[in-house]
Amino acid sequence: MRTVNEIRKVIVDDKVYPLSITAEHKDKVLNALITKAAGKGVAILEYRDIANEAEMSEQQYNTIITEFQDKNMITHQGYSTRYTLMSKIYEYYNHGGFKGEETILLANLDKLYLEIESLMEQLTPTLAERLKPKLEGIAALINIIKPVLSIVLNE
């Protein structure tokens, strides 16, 4: 728990933080909460507990905590740093966290692209003429989205 003097101090922080929150940042908070809970379903976690290895600002940490609350992964009362872990947080953890979620998304895009290519080859000539421009447009969109997602997700 912070003392009154610690709360009133202005902390000058010269660190450079990333411009966005990545899956890796979310996974660090996710792992810290689960580790702190140690199977008890309740964790007390403050930013300073993970500040050294987190590579994120306190504001980014708070944003992640808010997201976890919005997704019903954790609950807490007021300004407390005591979090009750809900079953959904364990689901994320067991499925590889947020990085695992991104990996699945990219794999699904790959699969969709291959299915579209296969479908285009199997079409009858008249149907192919009508659908080919649309399917090619979808395939092109996937080819555009995938590299962009890959860049954004791996920041």
The predicted pLDDT at position 44 comes to 94
* Token pair belonging to 68: 């976890």
Res 8 pLDDT > 70: no
Q: Which helix (H) or strand (E) holds 108?
A: helix 97-122
Res 155 pLDDT > 60: no
What digits encode the pLDDT tens for the residues 25-42? 999 999 999 999 999 999
What digits encode the pLDDT tens for the residues 70-79? 999 999 888 8
Please give the C-alpha separations between residue 104 and each of 26, 97, 125, in angstroms, as whole numbers. Answer: 16, 11, 34
Higher pLDDT, 70 or 135: 70
Q: How many CA atoms lie within 13 A of 92 on its CB side?
A: 24
Other CB atoms within 10 Å distance of the CB of residue 97: 21
What digits encode the pLDDT tens for the residues 96-125? 999 998 888 888 888 888 887 787 777 777
Q: Are strands 82-85 and 74-75 parallel, antiparallel or unpaired?
A: antiparallel
How long is the chain?
A: 155
* Token pair belonging to 19: 């411009």
Single out the residue of 15, 45, 16, 17 nearest to residue 31, CA to CA: 45
Which residues are paired to 42 by β-bridges? 84
* Token pair belonging to 150: 């890959």
The predicted pLDDT at position 3 comes to 56
